[in-house]
Structure 1
Amino acid sequence: MEISVATDQEWHIIRYSAGDKERWDRFVRRSKNGTFLLLRDYMDYHADRFQDCSLLIFCNRKLTALLPGNLSGSCFHSHQGLTYGGMLLSPSITLQQVESVFHAALDYLHKECSVQSIVYRAIPHIYHRYPAEEDLYVLTRLGAALVARSISSVIPLDDRLPFRTLRRRQLKKALASSLTIAEDEDFASFWPILEENLHERYGVSPVHSLEEITRLHSHFPRQISLFRVCDEAETLGGCIVYETDEVAHMQYIAASPRGKKCGALDLLFHQLIYDRYAQKRYFDFGISTEHGGQMLNEGLLFQKEGFGARAIMYDVYELRL
């Protein structure tokens, strides 16, 4: 299904279908703000949970933008199953064109999908390959409201702050214990530690099941990595890293009770920050908030700030049509 929009340029929109996978993925890779989370092999791992309504937007027959998203009743989410999923833009697009893209997309969603509101998860600027915040300006002009703001803790790796005393003390303890770090595919040994941590602290399970994260790793072996801290054969803790062009993002972090006592994560983060990902622009520990930013986990934030991380925002906007 497509709809033409009458402007000074010829715009038309196509709703994504499986036959569009190759050109969708090709555009994500060359866009100025796309990451592997917006590739279809990642987006579609939980396709059964969401009614996909992703859009391909053309200007004069040239693919100019993508809008990943799903429908929930009369609301369009971009994207409900992802950490972020805003408009993906070509490197050459101008602000005026982005404004036209939004008008075309909103017109399509309202007329063809009976959408009454948009929930828009903006891509944080640290993930942009080239400046790409035209969408935030256009949303403001359209009257969108900022409805959620979550704090994520980030280290700019070319200008790091030193570890705090507590973190250095724990690092020293870990070094004295002769712990080792393994980068491998043994997700099964890490997952019980992660599940126990999340259940004990928050009463929840990981967003991904063990089978799902293993499958995603098989699709993205260079972007999704597991690091484990070990004492001989025993796994004491670890993390799963999502690597994009600019950022090493901590998707999951957990340690066993013994791992916490002996500084396993301090050793791991020192290795990742100062060695493994030292050439990246940013090291992102992820958010320390719940309920759209209204609840701050101060203990978790204190730990991340102890490594030198400071705040950026993961923002969500709502626009009523």
Structure 2
Amino acid sequence: MGINMITDQKWSITRYSAEDKERWDRFVRRSKNGTFLLQRDYMDYHADRFRDCSLLIFCNQKLMALLPGNLSGDCFYSHQGLTYAGMLFSPSITLQQAESVFHTTLNYLQTECGAKSLVYRSIPHIYHRYPAEEDLYILTRLGATLTARSISSVIPLDDRLPFRTLRRRQLKKAQTYALTIVEDEDFASFWNILEENLRERYSVSPVHTLEETLRLHKNFPRQISLFRVCDGIETLGGCVVYETDEVAHVQYIAASPRGKKCGALDLLFHQLIYDRYAQKRYFDFGISTEHGGQILNKGLLFQKEGFGARAIMYDVYELKL
């Protein structure tokens, strides 16, 4: 199985199994571009929906990289159930070694898995603990095609732009009410508002069910947080935030009609950006596009840009093997 890509360095691959969980999670935590979304207690919440084909890549029996992924027909995805899931690298890896990782992996996918193509969801650079874009260079050299590019709106928290006039006006309005911001575990009260908003505006449901979100929060209580804006006991709106080493990422946002009218979300995001997550490097509002970036939700983007967020890319590449 090993391929001699570099003199005296023998590369080999093991397909992930449950016995590898501890080693997998430990590597994700020390890798230069892994987040808790790539740990098995997050990845496996929907294991029944995907044919897992995650890979561990070794050099001289030392674990150097991981590739979270699944097979669908003769295509390998990295990973269909996640927003991003590219190659996870050891901090010590060099570009030449990263090239060997890719060549070994592509050979394995063809010969051992029968894959004829690779769909690669790259990890946006803001989530990297240390520069880790070797994969983008290597994919380009291999002839991969950029097939999807989605815009996410991000604030660099050490150099923020001010809120736009409309957002400041809404914030000032919210401050005239006796509203409170609560960080707690009452996901159910927020989920009712979220589901109603998504159903009325887009005729869709949240990607995660309430039950799945509660289970994920139980697995990652420090990384997955709920914030609600309340008037007394009434929930007016809120958001779910995924916290990684570098980024506070807003996974879900919603407000009731009354919450929108009184500026509940403006009050909430002012607190999160200027206080709760002020020490993070980035505040990521998430994507405002559909169908691989072909459809732009201009109203949603306008709201996010009003808080000072600007564009980064969530990219997907495809490579014929």
Partner of 1:239: 239
In the alignment, structure 1 residue 302 sits paired with structure 2 residue 312: no
2-structure distance, mates of 1:200, 1:98: 46
Question: 2 CA distance for matches of 1:163 and 1:294?
Answer: 28
Q: For each residue in 1:265-316, what CA deviation from the matched residue of structure 2 results, as whole angstroms up to 9, or x when unmatched?
A: 0000000000000000000000000000000000000000000000000000
Tell me whether 1:20 sits opposite 2:15 in the alignment. Answer: no
- Please give the per-residue CA displacement for 1:53-81, whole angstroms capped at 9, x wherever unaligned: 00000000100000000000000000100
Query: How many angstroms does 1:4 deviate by?
Result: 1.6
The residue aligned with 2:318 is: 318
**Any idea what the Cα deviations from partners look like across 1:12-62, whole Å, max 9, x if unmatched?**
100000000000000000000000000000000000000000000000010
Partner of 1:65: 65
TM-score normalised by structure 1 residue count:
0.99
Q: Where do 1:30-179 residues align within 5 Å?
A: 30-179=30-179
Unaligned runs of 5+ in 2: none
1:6 to 1, 4, 7: 4
1:5 is displaced (CA, Å) by 1.6
Give the number of equivalent residue pairs.
319
Tell me whether 1:200 sits opposite 2:200 in the alignment: yes
For residue 6 of structure 1, report the CA deviation from its aligned partner: 2.9
CA distance in 1, matches of 2:156, 2:121: 23
Q: Per-residue CA shift, 1:163-212, capped at 9, x if unaligned? A: 00000000011110111000000001000100011111111100110000
Counterpart CA distance in 2 for 1:132 and 1:202 is 36
Q: Distance in 2 between matches of 1:44 and 1:266?
A: 35
Code of the residue aligned with 2:264 in structure 1: it is A
Give me the TM-score of the superposition, normalised by structure 2: 0.99
Letter aligned with residue 241 of structure 1: V
Between the aligned partners of 1:90 and 1:201, the Cα distance in structure 2 is 43
**What amino acid does structure 1 have at the position aligned with 2:299?**
G
Q: Percent identity?
A: 84
Separation of aligned partners in 1, 2:201 and 2:62: 49
Cα-Cα RMSD:
0.5
Give, in whole Å, the separation in 2 of the partners of 1:190 and 1:25: 30
Rounded to whole Å, the distance in 2 between the matches of 1:243 and 1:174 is 26
Which residue identity is paired with 1:62? K
Q: Aligned partners of 2:172, 2:114: CA distance in 1, in Å? A: 59
Amino acid at match of 2:187: F
Structure 1 runs of 4+ aligned residues shifted over 2 Å read: none
**Distance in 1 between residues matched to 2:150 and 2:200, nearest whole Å:** 22
Deviates more, 1:6-15 or 1:244-253: 6-15
Q: What amino acid does structure 1 have at the position aligned with 2:32? A: K
Between the aligned partners of 1:198 and 1:53, the Cα distance in structure 2 is: 32
